Amino acid sequence: MRYKNFEDIPIWQEAMDIAIGVHTISEGFPRKEDYGLTSQVRRSALSVSANIAEAFGRHHRLDKLCFYYNVRGSLAETKSHLIYSNRIGYVDSELFKSLEERLRIFNINLGKVIASLSKSR
């Protein structure tokens, strides 16, 4: 399906929702983490939707693929920060499991986008 704006792409919408969720969760982190973990997890989560938007702006399939692979990397980085946050007690386990499931489903959908772009010529 062709989209006129990146904001219309369902995977971008989900990425933005995840970034907002991460931002909300990280508001509960200790102030001492403002320039460390809080900043890192927010940046990596926001990078997911930003790279999807950048992929949208590219005209060549291989350029688009490169940005979608960057999305996968930013998603993994975000998950790693959230695992750490959970293990040190900044994020409660139930909330973490809920967000982890959203990330898992997002990753499946991302894989479908990448597979589709990889097959198209």
Could you read off the pLDDT of 75-100 as tens digits, one per residue?
999 999 999 999 999 999 999 999 99
Number of domains in the chain: 1
In a domain, 2, yes or no: no
In a domain, 1, yes or no: no
Domain that holds residue 77: 7-119
Q: Which of 61, 108, 79 is nearest to 18 (CA)?
A: 79
Q: Can you give the pLDDT at residue 120?
A: 76
In a domain, 66, yes or no: yes
Q: Can you give the pLDDT at residue 3?
A: 93
Per-residue pLDDT tens digits for 16-55: 999 999 999 999 999 999 999 999 999 999 999 999 999 9
In a domain, 71, yes or no: yes
In a domain, 89, yes or no: yes
- CA torsion through residues 105, 2, 54, 8, sign: negative
Average pLDDT, the chain: 97
Q: What is the dihedral of CA 111, 112, 114, 120, to 10 degrees?
A: 160
CA gap 121, 102 in Å, rounded:
31
CATH code at 91?
1.20.1440.60
This prediction has a pTM of: 0.94
pLDDT of 121 above 90: no
CA gap 90, 17 in Å, rounded:
20
Per-residue pLDDT tens digits for 54-64: 999 999 999 99
